[in-house]
Every structure is written in structure tokens, then in C-alpha cells.
Chains A and B, each alone.
Chain A
Amino acid sequence: MEDEKQILFAGFGGQGVLSMGQFLAYAAMNTGKHVSWVPSYGAEMRGGTANCLVTISSEEIYSPLTEHPLVAVVLNRPSLDKFETKVKPDGCLVINTSMVDRDPKRTDLMVLKIPVNELAEEMGNTRGSNMILLGAYLEKTSVVKVEDALQHFEVIYRGKKEKVIKRNREAFLAGVEWAKKNW
């Protein structure tokens, strides 16, 4: 339990929030960690707000839930408004500045800002914004090492079309490079 990390991903449905959480869970599992992924539980399958919580630990995970995640990755303004106060003291906020028009109020948190929609548009890969963000986040924090995540890309996307895997890998790497330069 000592190294247990709980990371919340939140945004609009369709921003790839659930799948980036799943990617992280897969990647962490493949490095031998205990993981869990639990989605927000709502009637709306499309279009509404979505969030998921990923727990990563080197020991058995008792609670896949928490009031206070260590990290909140927010892809839109409503998610920041909803979760800023929930993050653990001295935790971390990752903010998609393309869709969030205010700064966080809390001062105890590590704040990482990234304009992922713009970056995705520059790449001509608008659906890749979630992977850009994840690449940047992992480069900065090594919750899962970037090389481990890359090593398991094919396994994680098993069954998906090669083109889809390639576009996601490109987005992920673009995020990694952006973090190296900006964070």
C-alpha cells in the first residue's frame, strides 16, 4: 500500500478519458504491478462527462476507489471544477489548457499544463490528444516508464488496426517530446 498511486482521468465523453486510463492500467500491469481501473458509473454512455480511476501498486489493491486521488488529469473545465478540491495534499494536477480557461486555486499541488488539443491539431491527429497527454505525463512522472509503455504498445492495442496503433504511438511520442522540452 505504501507506493499505491491513484490517478483520476476526467473529461467529456469522447475525449478518450476511459481509454487513456485503460492504457495506463495495461502498461502498469505489464511491468508487474497490481492495477485496477474503474469507470465513472453513469447512464450516459456518450457525450456526458466521463471519468475513471486507475490504481497502481506493488501490493494487492484493496480499494479501487478513493475520495482523494494523488493525481487528477483533467481534460475540460467542469472536471477541474469538480476534482481540484479532491486531489490529495501535495498531489498533482495535469490540465489540458486547450479546454480549461482558468488556473487552479490550490497552491500545494504540482501543476502540469499542456494544450493537447492544439498539439493534436498540429499533428493532424485530433483523436490523439489523450495519448499526447499520457505520453507527456509518463515522461514527466515515470508512473510507468516511457520505454515500458512503448514496449507493450502492441499488446495493449491487440486486435486494433495497425493504422490505429501507429497513430496512437505517434501521439504518445509527441507528448513525450513536448514534456522533455516544456516540463
Chain B
Amino acid sequence: MNKVLMKGNEALAEGAILAGCRGFFGYPITPSSEIAEYMARKLPKIGGIFVQAESELAAINMVYGGASTGTRVMTASSGPGLSLKQEGISFISEAELPCLIVNISRGGPGLGGIQPSQGDYFQATRGGGHGDYHTMVLAPASTQEMMDFAILGYELADRYRIPVVIMAEGTLGNLMEPVIVRDEVTNFVEKPWAISGCQGRKPNIVNTLHLTAEELEGRNRHLFSKYEDIQMNEKRAETFMVEDADIVVVAFGLLARVIKRSVIDARKHGVKAGLIRPMTLWPFPDEHIKAVTDTCKVILSMEISMGQMIQDIRLAAEGRVPVEFYGRIGFLPNPEELTREILAVAERKGL
């Protein structure tokens, strides 16, 4: 088992390459640029294509074009860039093209800052652009998962013909940890819908225009029956010490991992804490949340935002237990601070 010390951004880029990514189209933005730089170095050496686009709009539309050929392609960006990409993501979703879109998240709104953030949760999980659609959203918590979720992301993208978003706080992109480098992916699904010249077959059309109400409704129903399958099959979450927990923290990303230590420290102070870490933000693992509402006394949503995932948690908890919130902006809180907050909530609730 050969472990290599890698940064999160590098591990993600390498994971994408191992998964067969042969096209990267992007526009530099801190803190995601290392992914583009890695791809610019690596892709030309293995017969892949790297294009630095003139804008985020162009970059996502290059992904639209690239994905339409059936090639595994990707882009990576951060907050303001992701906003510009939403037009293309809406088109790609309706055209049902598989691709990987990475958001190494920074704080907003506006230009915001370049510090880590989870404030793009709504944008990522609600579709983000115009119209009724979802992307799948994966939230890694370690450098290893940055690699593994890139590979998983392509597998899911191809299986469901859906764009997959990987959302990671900026700090995770810069975090160096040992990574077990995975094997190269060799089994790929057929893509008879791809466009690359119609030799020997009827022409294929990639299109998102449906002018009649009937046709448009049919398309939306088709997409949503696919989303139902995804919700049925692909919810993923990690649970940590929730069995006997009075207070269950729900958090994602690197923040969730930091909270594991707070959970252990809180238990040293006599507070039975636990953690649920959604690994898929969409589909949201609501059953995992619902499952603890019979045993825990309070749920605590911790986010690097003013509170976005808490809405999904409350929907999942269906009012059975109170859902509290703790959020910070612009940085990843230290475990000691998070422990103090868990203890404070426990005290308020008489636990």
C-alpha cells in the first residue's frame, strides 16, 4: 500500500485523471487554481486536453461541449466562478451530460473572501441555475476522499447522466495528507448518445429546447424520475458515536472531521455527543437524520455559513427534536471552539 503525501487539490485532480478525465476547461480563481495547474501539467502528457478559457461562461460551455462527445471532462472553480457557471450547469443538466464540476469553496456574497466556506450549499443542492433540476453533490472530508470522490463522481455522473459537483472548503484543497493512490479506472459505460460525427448511425442531437408544454413537462418528469432513483440509491452519510448520543451534530466536509475530535472531547466532559456527516449533500441523507430523532434530544447543525443545511436537517427531523445552529464565517473553527459550543448547547438543553 503506497501512500503519497498530497494536497487535497492535487489528490482530486489525480483522482479525476485516474477515473479517465481527459478534458479540463477552467478559469483561474483562488482557492481552486491548483487543480487547473495540476491538470495543465498532466493532461497534455497523457493525450488529454487542457484549455484555459476566457471566462467561466466559456469554461462551463467547453465542459458542455466536451461532455457531449462522451469524454470524461471537468472544470474547477470557486464561489464567483460557480455563479457564472450556473447557466451552463442548467443546460448540462437538461441535456443529461455527465461531467465533474468542482467547487473549492470560498466565502461570499459578492467577491467575499478567499477563506474557506460552506456558503454555496444552497447553490449546489438546489440546482443553482434556472429551471427545475438537481446536480449530485459530494462533500469530501479528507485528502483521500478528494481522490476517491473524483473517481466516484465520474462513476455516478455516467450512471445517471448527471453533472456531479464536488464541494470542498478551500482549506481541504490545501490540506496535505497521505493518500493511497487508487488504480486506474478501466471499465467505462457505453455512450451511444454522444456526438462525434454520425458515421454508421443516425445523427445524434444534444438539445435543451422544448417549445411545447407537453414536451417540456415530459422532460421535467423524466429528469425527476431519475432524481427519485438517485434519492433511493445514492444517499451517503457517515455516522460517528450516534447510537447513545443525546446531542447529534450534523456537519459536512473537513469541518465534520474536525468535529469528530470535539465529539470525543465533549464525551470526556460527560456530554454524550455524536456526529452525522452527510457525504452526499444532494441527495441529502435524510434517513440518517430521521433515524437519530428517536434517540437523541437535540440536533446541532454546524456550518461555515449563516445556516443553510439546517433547512434540510429540519425537514428530515420533521419536528421530532429541536435543531440548533452554530455557524462561523470565513474560517474553519478549531475543535476546541466547537467543543465549547457543543457543551454550551448541552447545558442549555439540560443534558
A-side residues, CB < 8 A to B, are: 1, 22, 25-26, 29, 34-39, 41, 43, 61-68
Contacts and interface: CB of A to CB of B under 8 A. Distances in A.
A137 B331 CA distance: 30
Contact of B258 (A43, A65, A68): A65
Contacts of B262: 63
Contacts of A61: 177
Contacts of B239: none
Given A41-B115, A41-B116, A63 B178 contact: no
Contact of A38 (B30, B171, B335, B337): B171
B335 A63 contact: yes
Contacts of A29: 3, 5, 178
Given A62-B257, A63-B257, A36 B174 contact: no
A41 B174 contact: yes
Given A37-B175, A63-B261, A67-B336, 19 more contacts: A22-B5, A29-B178, A36-B175, A36-B176, A37-B5, A37-B176, A38-B176, A41-B115, A41-B170, A41-B171, A41-B331, A62-B258, A63-B257, A63-B334, A64-B257, A65-B258, A65-B332, A65-B335, A68-B336
Contact of A65 (B5, B170, B177, B334): B334
Interface of B: 3, 5, 30-31, 114-116, 170-171, 174-178, 254, 257-258, 260-262, 264, 331-332, 334-337
Contacts of A25: 5, 176
A1 B175 contact: no
Contact of A67 (B30, B178, B334): B334
Contacts of B334: 63, 65-67
29 contacts: A1-B261, A22-B176, A25-B176, A35-B5, A35-B178, A36-B177, A37-B176, A38-B175, A39-B174, A41-B31, A41-B114, A41-B116, A41-B170, A43-B114, A61-B177, A62-B260, A62-B261, A63-B258, A63-B260, A63-B262, A63-B335, A64-B175, A64-B177, A64-B257, A65-B335, A66-B335, A66-B336, A67-B336, A67-B337
Contacts of B30: 43
A67 B336 CA distance: 6
A62 B261 CA distance: 6
Nearest to B338: A63
A62 B264 contact: yes
A131 to B, nearest CB: 18
Nearest to A65: B334
A65 B31 CA distance: 19
Contacts of A36: 175-177
Nearest to B330: A41
B129 to A, nearest CB: 29
A58 B178 CA distance: 13
Contacts of B170: 41
B302 to A, nearest CB: 13
Nearest to B275: A62
Contacts of B116: 41
A1 B264 contact: yes
Contacts of A66: 334-336
A43 B114 CA distance: 7
Contacts of B337: 67
Contacts of A34: 178
Task: Across the A-B interface, give the 7 residue pairs with the lowest CB-CB distance, nearest first.
Answer: A62-B260, A37-B176, A63-B261, A62-B261, A67-B334, A67-B336, A63-B258
B177 A35 contact: yes
Contacts of A22: 5, 176
Nearest to B240: A62
Contacts of A35: 5, 177-178
A43 B113 CA distance: 9
Nearest to B106: A41
Given A62-B264, A67-B336, A26 B5 contact: yes
A65 B5 CA distance: 18
A29 B1 CA distance: 13
